[in-house]
A and B are shown apart, each in its own frame.
Chain A
């Protein structure tokens, strides 16, 4: 406690809070710029291809997500749906967040969860290469190293699908809030604290994940093909811009979470 309240530590906490604020503002700006560029590229595509070829009529009546936002402890992570089989093969979101050297990481396939998953320690410091590569595909601002595992390890039998469904049930009871974090949590199926349910939670189950459930969702199709197979380069640029915007939005949410923690940490240190 004496260490926590030392002037040096308080100064560091204050500095970290300012850094988080700056990062949040930069990410907000990046998000805005990516959206503006995306909509302008979309207009350029309509100019080049014709208004009838780039319109709402090309959008299918039923849509499926190409990426999901999930939580690991306090942080949000954006995972493209074609990456989900990797998560399921791992059988444990914490396992996904392990450093490759610290765990027997499973091969990226549809194989059942590794029997060693239960022994994996809970802490993590980095996103594995596959997930990081998926985030880098969005070509957005550099991903902040903020994706961390929660405290206790989940049993390997808790599949991601099961967890997301249970969190959705928990989120239904939350009332609407003006707090961005709570809105995001309610929308993306996590509880207010952004944590996964504990094994003792009555809503949790021990059923293993059925890979077949993701057979269709894992391949939602490329939205670019809604407008045809031979689309103008400006439409491809628009796709890239919107992908970057999505990544920036998730990173901005994480940055806002860090920013919110700052004053609380500083107050407790005083």
Chain B
């Protein structure tokens, strides 16, 4: 960015968006610290976890929960906190920040669509499915997803009036929605969403474009890695796998071409290690240790998210807040699962410290 652009960004950002940036920085201070996690790891029961979290930002959402506590209850209460914060920021956002905040939620919308369609395939009650949808990804007529028989119906009946409509390709099929088609649909939609989000943030430009471009690039690479890892041994062909990768990222295009033909974890590792930023990540893994990969990738993501707060006057802090809260909820869920299963010796395997 030129000096003039920097100056104008610094001068004009706070006119519309300064208040909400201050709000989100205040929210960020409420994230759990290392000391909080150490105390949570000492808890013997889920009731102890609930008691400790009552003294944090989650207090108002957990205080009235009746015993006995379950892991899902803790996750739901913590999610309500994130939803309330996000809703407040969205209601007070101008443009283009409002559109940016909406973009941040389209991923949850895709997850909700897949949840409804999968649940309907398994003959679950629609109301039960709606209750479990992520509130950040709700939209009107989401309940109508249950009547769709194939992707063409899905688009024509429901999704044509939603923000996800542009992510459906022109070549919609009439194939029935089975597990593989639903999975391909999920990843295809997410690919189109990431491409679109990346175009939007680069259109906004400035510090937002630079910061968000880096984070979305990491997200695209991580999704390519996870798709490759999860498709090993499945009926997903190499060509279909390649089509699910986003059209940007550090691995695009040559790294993705090599990932598409990888058949085991060691081949995936050798591809990733050709990219210097990921070489450092994979060097922390032992030979054949794929179990720790998720945690290491989350740690890298958290490092990038924390770094966004080192700069001002950009929208990346809002995206970072959402992702940091989600990571915190994952941490709490993992601790709760270890406590519930009496596996506290494994609790450090899943905690990603924020501060």
Residues of chain A having any CB pair with chain B under 8 Å: 36, 39-40, 43-44, 46-48, 50-53, 55, 57-62, 225-226, 228-234
> With the chains together, A43 CA to B115 CA distance in Å?
19
A57-B128 contact given A229-B180, A230-B231, A230-B236, CB 8 Å threshold: yes
State which of A40, A51, A60, A228 has its C-beta within 8 Å of the C-beta of B72: A51
In the assembled complex, the CB of B49 is this many whole angstroms from the nearest CB of chain A, namely 15
> With the chains together, A259 CA to B267 CA distance in Å?
49
State which of B115, B123, B294 has its C-beta within 8 Å of the C-beta of A52: B115
> With the chains together, A85 CA to B187 CA distance in Å?
37
Cβ–Cβ < 8 Å partners of B183 in chain A: 228-230
> With the chains together, A44 CA to B293 CA distance in Å?
12
Interface 9-mer from B39-47, B201-209, B272-280, B329-337: B329-337
Cβ–Cβ < 8 Å partners of B119 in chain A: 57-58
Whether B129 contacts A40 by the Cβ 8 Å rule is no
Interface membership of chain B positions 110-127, coded 1 if the CB is closer than 8 angstroms to chain A and 0 otherwise: 010001001100111100
Cβ–Cβ < 8 Å partners of A44 in chain B: 291, 294, 349-350
Closest chain A residue to B334 by CB distance?
A47
| B107-150 with Cβ < 8 A to chain A | 111, 115, 118-119, 122-125, 128-129, 132, 134
SS class, residues of chain B in contact with chain A: helix
B343 within 8 Å of A (CB atoms): yes
> With the chains together, A62 CA to B122 CA distance in Å?
8
B182 within 8 Å of A (CB atoms): yes
Whether B291 contacts A52 by the Cβ 8 Å rule is no
In the assembled complex, the CB of A184 is this many whole angstroms from the nearest CB of chain B, namely 26
**Knowing that A43-B338, A61-B122, A230-B227 are A-B contacts, what are 18 other residue pairs whose CB atoms are under 8 Å apart, sorted by A's residue number?**
A36-B341, A40-B341, A43-B334, A43-B337, A47-B333, A48-B294, A52-B132, A57-B124, A58-B118, A58-B122, A60-B122, A228-B186, A229-B184, A229-B234, A229-B235, A230-B234, A231-B230, A232-B226
A43-B341 contact given A51-B333, A57-B119, A230-B187, CB 8 Å threshold: yes
> With the chains together, A225 CA to B121 CA distance in Å?
12
Question: Which of A57, A60, A226 has its CB near the most chain B CB atoms (within 10 A)?
Answer: A57
Cβ–Cβ < 8 Å partners of A36 in chain B: 341, 343
B161 within 8 Å of A (CB atoms): no
Question: Which of A36, A39, A233, A234 has its CB near the most chain B CB atoms (within 10 A)?
Answer: A233
Cβ–Cβ < 8 Å partners of A233 in chain B: 229-230, 290-291
B179 within 8 Å of A (CB atoms): yes
